[in-house]
Structure 1
Amino acid sequence: MERKYWVPALERAQDVLQLVAAGPSKLKLMDLSAATGINKSTMFSLLHTMETLNWVIKEKGDTYALGSFFGMIGNAYFSGMSLVKLFEEKASRSVERLGETIQLGRLEKGELVYLAKKEGATQVRLISEPGMRLPAYATAMGKVLLAARADKQVLSYYEEGSFQSYTPNTVQSGEELLVQLRIARENGYAVDQEEVVLGFCCIAMPILDRNGESIAAVSCSMPVHQWTVKQDLAKQEMKLLAHALSAVF
């Protein structure tokens, strides 16, 4: 590409962002300066500007992580993803049969990132939107994807005492989480029983690539009064939908 109109500051910012994305909450100003060759004064200005723009956030230990800006623009990116497009096509049948909301998500470290959602014919609207993130341990999709990881890797995502309680049913410790993941491995699916929002339950199944590795998950969420009526049908539909989306990529 011709560099006649190149903006070096943007290139430097991209280099910093790539490092922060690869090692969230690990790198300080000095680390980023050493890794990029950008002097400390310039690095300070870059980070200050990016922090103001919410491109990065500075954490307690003076390390950096990506900021909320990338979540805000993520929806445009997700809409162009082939898996999302296939989900939009395939999920309609399940939504029709269940009358409930179906969601697609993937795991990023210890967080569940929502990629897409198809609303059911219900007056109750879920808070999840594409680009939104929640701790994986609190969600059915997050847990079914964590279940594919080794226990040691799962525990590395969370510090004891850092588990956020969304409801009284939310996982409170690594030990409790591992128990739920063992159940998820045995069942082949995971559930959220009023763990994120009181009054709502959810069931999730993993989407597998050609190597049998979990790459994403689908879930069905519904009010708890529908759970006893539709739980078995939801499990069946999520299994069919996950299978339809698996081994395609």
Structure 2
Amino acid sequence: MTEERKYWVPALERADGILSVLALEPGKYKLIDLSKRLDINKSSMFSLLHTLEALHWVEKNTDDTYSLGPAIAVLGSSFVKRFDLHDSFQTEAAGVRDRLQETVQLAKRIDDHILYLGKVEALTPVRLQSEPGMRLPAHATALGKVMLAQLPNGSLKQLYPERNLAKLTPHTIADRDKLFEQLGNIREQGFALDDQEAVMGFQCVAAPIFNRAGEVIAGVSCSMPLHQWEHKAEATRKEIIALAQRLSVLTLN
């Protein structure tokens, strides 16, 4: 037994699995679905969900599916407030939103996923589901790819030991070698694109935010429907790169 697993609590690991699944696909899974998805027997899943619901970590919907509960929002808000970057983002991104009339997002990378930290939302008919606290696979998003691109090859291989990658849409990169090749180009050009790789019908551009040591600490992005992207692509790319550069400078002060 490794030192890391010596004091491991399996119930917490199972709860983490439940929360991770519900974060990605809220309102999709019932108890039996979660039991099959996570390979946890029904009686254990019932106990876990009952406890999580009592603690307000999950909510049971009217159709018996489950979503994350309000306690998660409180914890996520507390986590976000640790970052001075969040306040700067809210201020700086507001102007970008107003100029583009599109939603701007802030996220950081946690291993092979991204965690959304902030969102400045535009008043558009189509609302993005990327709420603060939500996680998505990094390889399937512009935000994730622009942060992965700053990692050395050794670290990338540790994050992605398997060649096959999970697909969120038919356009998601599903081959590790193709991902690594694209990351090299992203590193050189300074921004990343997501062409319907996370959500069908949406295009996204993202740029990295660096700290004083030159390490990527977060990323900013703008997503929009394809018909809007056709007219706003160049302006959006310039705005997001400039926003990331401003936020990088602010982290130095």
Query: TM-score surpassing 0.5?
Result: yes
- Give the TM-score of the pair, scaled to structure 2: 0.72
8 Å contact 2:163–2:176 — kept in the other structure?
Answer: no
| Paired position in structure 2 for 1:218 | 220
The separation in 1 between residues aligned to 2:187 and 2:113, in whole angstroms, is 19
Amino acid at match of 1:32: Y
| Paired position in structure 2 for 1:178 | 180
The separation in 1 between residues aligned to 2:72 and 2:194, in whole angstroms, is 24
Q: Tell me how many residue pairs correspond in the alignment.
A: 202
Give 1:136 shift.
0.5
8 Å contact 1:71–1:132 — kept in the other structure?
Answer: no
Give 1:56 shift.
7.2
The separation in 1 between residues aligned to 2:122 and 2:81, in whole angstroms, is 19
| Paired position in structure 2 for 1:98 | 100
The separation in 1 between residues aligned to 2:102 and 2:130, in whole angstroms, is 14
Partner SS for 2:249: coil
Structure 1, gaps ≥5 residues long = 1-22, 34-42, 61-66
| Paired position in structure 1 for 2:52 | none
Give 1:163 shift.
1.7
Q: Residues 9-36 of structure 1, C-alpha deviation per residue, up to 9 Å, x if partnerless?
A: xxxxxxxxxxxxxx9xx943xx227xxx
| Paired position in structure 2 for 1:189 | 191
Amino acid at match of 2:228: Q
Amino acid at match of 1:109: D
| Paired position in structure 2 for 1:115 | 117
| Paired position in structure 1 for 2:129 | 127
Amino acid at match of 1:124: V
8 Å contact 1:210–1:248 — kept in the other structure?
Answer: no
8 Å contact 2:113–2:137 — kept in the other structure?
Answer: yes
| Paired position in structure 2 for 1:88 | 90
Amino acid at match of 2:225: P
Structure 2, gaps ≥5 residues long = 19-37, 40-56, 58-67
8 Å contact 2:163–2:177 — kept in the other structure?
Answer: no
Show the 5 A alignment for 1:1-249. 27-28=4-5, 31-32=6-7, 47-48=10-11, 50=12, 54=15, 72=73, 73-79=75-81, 81-160=83-162, 163-249=165-251
- Give the TM-score of the pair, scaled to structure 1: 0.73
| Paired position in structure 2 for 1:16 | none
Change in 2 beyond 3 A, CA 1:149/1:230: same
Partner SS for 1:246: helix
The separation in 1 between residues aligned to 2:153 and 2:77, in whole angstroms, is 31
Q: Residues 92-134 of structure 1, C-alpha deviation per residue, up to 9 Å, x if partnerless?
A: 0000000111000111111111100111121111111111111
> Aligned Cα RMSD in Å?
2.6
Give 1:185 shift.
1.2
8 Å contact 1:160–1:173 — kept in the other structure?
Answer: no
Give percent identity, aligned residues only.
39
Partner SS for 1:247: helix
Partner SS for 1:113: strand
| Paired position in structure 2 for 1:40 | none
8 Å contact 1:101–1:118 — kept in the other structure?
Answer: yes
